[in-house]
Amino acid sequence: MNIRRVRAVVVAALVAMALVAMALAPAAASAGTSAGGCRVGAPGVGDPYYPLYGNGGYDVQHYLLKIRYNPATDRLVGVATITARATQSLCRFNLDFQGMTVRSVKVDGRRARWSRSQDHELTVVPQRHLKKGHRFTTVVRYDGVPRTFVDPSAPDVPYGWIHTDDGADVVSEPEGSANWFPLNDHPTDKATFTFVVTVPAGREAIANGRLVARRTHGRWTTWVWNSPELMAPYLATATNGQFNLRRYRTADGLRMYDAVDPDLYNLPIDPQDPASPTYGEIADRSLARQGEIIEFLESQFRVDYPFSTGGGIVDDAENLTFALETQTRPVYPWFFFADPVSGDSVVVHEIAHQWYGNDVALAAWMHMWLNEGFATYAEWLWSGREGLGTPQEIFEFFYNDIPADDPFWDLVIADPGIPNLFHGAVYIRGAMTLQVLRNQVGDRDFFRILRAWAKRRSGGNGTTAQFIALAERISGQQLDALFDAWLFTPGKPTYGAPAATATATATAGQAPPAAASLLRRLAEGASRTRR
């Protein structure tokens, strides 16, 4: 072996080692890496807040999630079947998944190699390269105790898979889904879902969409839910436990499923008062208004309710501290139903998210005000209809009540950062921004903007810049100054009340009920400022 040949062999060996190293280092790989004519799927979609969430190289079309959950042991056994289309040639690709034990991974029926990293990346290497445009099926078998997610900046707010005394509340915004199923975890990759959830007989399992089957075999009952409309995967739920499940249709024919924990009918709002209504009764009252609320929001947004089912889930769990707009079936904590105004407000909020947040989802997590500002504004619209304070009155209450030196005004709500993603300012200042826009462009154009945002982006995603561009196009006005002041600049914006609303100042200092309800929800503690 001559020296030149030895060098060539060494170089070839080094190149081979480098390729192997790249193939085994999931997080370090980039979309451009090539090996053998195919490419490596990126480990993230590049969300500025969560760079490793979501993955590149494929587009999920459908998740079939078969789950068996035993609340007595907290253990979950799952088989996830993920149908996706390759958007580039793929030697390998990533899923987001953490905590659970992976037993096997198959791609198109063949066993695939896989590896995991600390940062929730499950890297899958199919036996055969996937061609661009190829529709492929990945089956992941797994089990374990799903971890409840705790955000270090809000340790009192567990989310994701929340174990309860009789089941689990499953509320995964923003990054809890990867604790209970493998997925492409970013709102930009929406998909349809089928849930096959097995729980002990006598318990209920409630997921998104329509209940298509329920079968009991021995000590277990399997609930099959089909969710045929595109959904950002953080909105998936498989909440289970002891619930009174009611099925009915609204006056408009919408198929509804309400699930209320029966314990709430034994929980009086005021234990000292023998005539006190219970939390269950107040929850039922507000849920009974869902059809009316949907009809009202349709009349305001002038876009039909975007999904084929609706309903809500109310649990008595002490560790569920926020409501979440899980698609078609929001999950509510019991304590939001302390009075009818609060109950109705939170139901309006979560139903409004079905248009703004769910059907039109965020393109990146930083745009959260597009979800929370809009849903909060919907509460203000409802308040106006109920004669409990108009949006302008509520706007003025907050504007006059929060002094300029209050830290509330410091947050730049167009880029709040992860620790402040669910800060009260994202909600309140977000809704205030919409009221200022309404005053600037007038009612006609304002509601045209809301309608166009919901209608044109239905099934898709949006950014703050796209919303601003739409508002300017529809109104024909230059709105940079308005949005700069309200969304992009810390500090209290100056605001001159329009003459037409001068009467509103009469209420200054006194919180309109919808504002009081929102403040109460926020005041449940920093922990409960979320959603």
Between 313 and 482, CB nearer to Zn ion: 313
Q: CA–CA separation, 486 vs 484, rounded Å?
A: 6
Closest separation in Å from C-beta 350 to Zn ion = 7
Site string for Zn ion, 250-269 (x = CB under 5 A): --------------------
CB atoms within 10 A of CB 118: 7
Site size for Zn ion (CB under 5 A): 3
Closest separation in Å from C-beta 51 to Zn ion = 24
Q: Is the dihedral of CA 63, 66, 70, 75 positive or negative?
A: negative
CA dihedral 302, 522, 391, 497 (to 10 degrees): -140
Q: Does 490 sit behind a cis peptide bond, omega within 30 degrees of 0 on the bond before it?
A: no
Closest separation in Å from C-beta 323 to Zn ion = 7
Q: Please give the structure tokens belonging to residue 421.
A: 């993603």
Between 254 and 375, CB nearer to Zn ion: 375
Between 423 and 531, CB nearer to Zn ion: 531
Between 203 and 353, CB nearer to Zn ion: 353
Beta strands in 153-254 (DSSP E): 158-163, 168-171, 191-200, 204-207, 210-217, 220-231, 238-241, 244-249
Closest separation in Å from C-beta 349 to Zn ion = 6
Give the Å distances, CA to CA, from 481 to 408, 472, 499, 516: 20, 12, 21, 30
Between 163 and 531, CB nearer to Zn ion: 531
Site string for Zn ion, 385-424 (x = CB under 5 A): ----------------------------------------
Between 120 and 367, CB nearer to Zn ion: 367
List, as one string, the DSSP characters of 101-122: EEEEEEETTEE-EEEE-TTSEE
Contact assessment for residue 141 and residue 103, using Cβ atoms and an 8 Å cutoff: yes
**192 backbone dihedrals φ, ψ, rounded to 5°:** -90, 160
Between 372 and 393, CB nearer to Zn ion: 372
Closest separation in Å from C-beta 419 to Zn ion = 17
Q: Helices (H), strands (E): how many in the chain?
A: 11, 24
Contact assessment for residue 459 and residue 359, using Cβ atoms and an 8 Å cutoff: yes
Closest separation in Å from C-beta 463 to Zn ion = 18
SS3 495: coil
Q: CA–CA separation, 79 vs 193, rounded Å?
A: 13
Kindly state the helix (H) or strand (E) to which residue 467 belongs, with its residue range.
Answer: helix 464-475
Of the ranges 42-50, 132-140, 151-159, 523-531, which one interacts with Zn ion (CB under 5 A)? 523-531
Closest separation in Å from C-beta 114 to Zn ion = 36
Rounded to 5, what percent of the chain is helix, strand, coil? 35, 30, 35
Which listed residue (120, 203, 429, 531) binds Zn ion by CB under 5 A? 531
Closest separation in Å from C-beta 474 to Zn ion = 25
- Among positions 327-386, residues that touch Zn ion (CB under 5 A) are 372, 375
SS3 248: strand
Between 69 and 398, CB nearer to Zn ion: 398
Q: CA–CA separation, 497 vs 501, rounded Å?
A: 7
Between 289 and 531, CB nearer to Zn ion: 531
Closest separation in Å from C-beta 214 to Zn ion = 30
Between 344 and 372, CB nearer to Zn ion: 372
Q: CA–CA separation, 508 vs 119, rounded Å?
A: 49
Closest separation in Å from C-beta 521 to Zn ion = 10
Between 197 and 421, CB nearer to Zn ion: 421
Q: CA–CA separation, 354 vs 356, rounded Å?
A: 6
SS3 179: helix
Contact assessment for residue 467 and residue 453, using Cβ atoms and an 8 Å cutoff: yes
Closest separation in Å from C-beta 372 to Zn ion = 5
Q: Which residues are at the interface with Zn ion (CB under 5 A)? A: 372, 375, 531
